[in-house]
Amino acid sequence: MGWTFKLHGGIAAVLGIVLLVLTALTWLPGALPLPGAKWLMAGVVVLLFPIFISALVRVFLTRADRQAVLMAFRCLPGRVQIGLAAACMSGVAMMILSTAGEENLQSAEVRDGRYFAFDTTAHSRGTIEVSLSQYQAVLESDQRSMLAIPGMLFVGAAYFVLAAGELRRADLRPKSS
């Protein structure tokens, strides 16, 4: 596998794991790990699209089917396989736990010293006033999904790039007759 595949996959894996760790930190009691996460989300979006799209392009350029990509992933070292699988499974678990505990509130905001959130229940859709504790719970829930989804996409990009690198290496290997 070429060094560009390793670098691309490594950057995607590290960014994904960092975002998943930050997601896990939102469950700790106390203040949010990153209360002003607007700069973080802007950075994530700026990095996510080029890394993820180029990973998809790299795997599509191999012209391999899903089975071949899976087999190429299985050719990676065991630690890499286990690390990416653990990151993916932890991201899925955090998303499931996060959505299971939601109270149909999202998009918390402060207006004139009062706390509001958007209620998504079917019969009472709209912005409602909430308590400070509900406001903080909604902020943490929003932050979980804003960190976990890109984290899992970065891990997926690492999977695609590293599998494409293995496919490329197998294609370039001299054929023995």
Q: Please state, in angstroms and as integers, the Cα–Cα distance from residue 73 to each residue in 12, 67, 88, 159, 162, following that order.
A: 15, 10, 14, 7, 7
Q: Give residue-wise pLDDT tens across range 123-177.
A: 777 787 888 877 777 777 778 888 888 999 999 999 999 999 988 877 776 666 5
pLDDT of residue 49: 93
> Quick one: pLDDT band at residue 15, thresholds 50, 70, 90?
very high
pLDDT of residue 129: 80
Among 24-28, 119-123, 139-143, the range of highest mean pLDDT: 24-28
Annotate the chain with three-state secondary structure.
Answer: CCHHHHHHHHHHHHHHHHHHHHHHHCCCCCCCCCCCCHHHHHHHHHHHHHHHHHHHHHHHHCCCCHHHHHHHHHCCCHHHHHHHHHHHHHHHHHHHHHHHCCCCEEEEEEECCEEEEEECCCCCCEEEEECHHHHHHHHHHHHHHHHHHHHHHHHHHHHHHHHHHHHHHHHHCCCCC
Q: Give residue-wise pLDDT tens across range 76-114.
A: 889 999 999 999 999 999 888 877 665 677 777 788 888
pLDDT of residue 13: 94
Task: Output the pTM of the full model.
Answer: 0.82
Q: Give residue-wise pLDDT tens across range 30-65.
A: 666 565 667 777 888 899 999 999 999 998 988 888
Domain range annotation of the chain? 3-101+147-172
